[in-house]
Amino acid sequence: MIPLLLIWLLFGFICYWLAKKQGRDKKIAFVAGFFLGVLALIYYLIAGEVKQTCQFCKEKMKKGAIVCPHCQREVNMIKK
Ligand SMILES: [Zn+2]
């Protein structure tokens, strides 16, 4: 039998890893994975990468993109 705590930690680490790949908040992902388990995992699998919207054509593109893949225009990065 695998201790339940180990399964929780495993979910936490999987969510952490997915969030890292997608450019999301890793700490939140770990906590969510730890407490919500499968639900958090499904959320991160469905949610995919963080997207930004092009200010010219309003199409979605990857976060951090400099040139829009739809209209080929240079996108001004809005710094937080
Ligand atoms: Zn565009």
User: Tens digits of per-residue pLDDT, 18-74?
Assistant: 999 888 899 999 999 999 999 999 999 888 878 888 989 999 888 888 899 999 999
Cα of 56 to ligand 1 centre, how many Å? 5
Ligand 1 center from residue 67 Cα (angstroms):
8
61 φ, ψ to 5°? -145, 170
Rounded to 5 degrees, φ, ψ at 30 are -65, -45
Domain match, 30 and 62 both:
no
pTM confidence score: 0.65
Cα–Cα distance measured from residue 25 to residue 37, given in angstroms and rounded to the nearest whole number: 17
Do 71 and 57 belong together in one domain? yes
Is residue 4 very low, low, confident or very high in pLDDT (cuts 50, 70, 90)?
confident
Say how many Å lie between the CA of residue 25 and the centre of ligand 1: 26
Structural domains in the chain (count):
2
Asked whether residue 45 falls in the same domain as residue 61, the answer is no
Domain of 12? 4-49
- Whole-number Å distance, alpha carbon 75 to ligand 1 midpoint, is 8
What is the Cα–Cα distance from 35 to 65, expressed in whole angstroms?
Answer: 33
Tokens of 39: 């639900």
**60 and 45: one domain?**
no
Examine the domain organization and report whether 13 and 44 are in the same domain.
yes
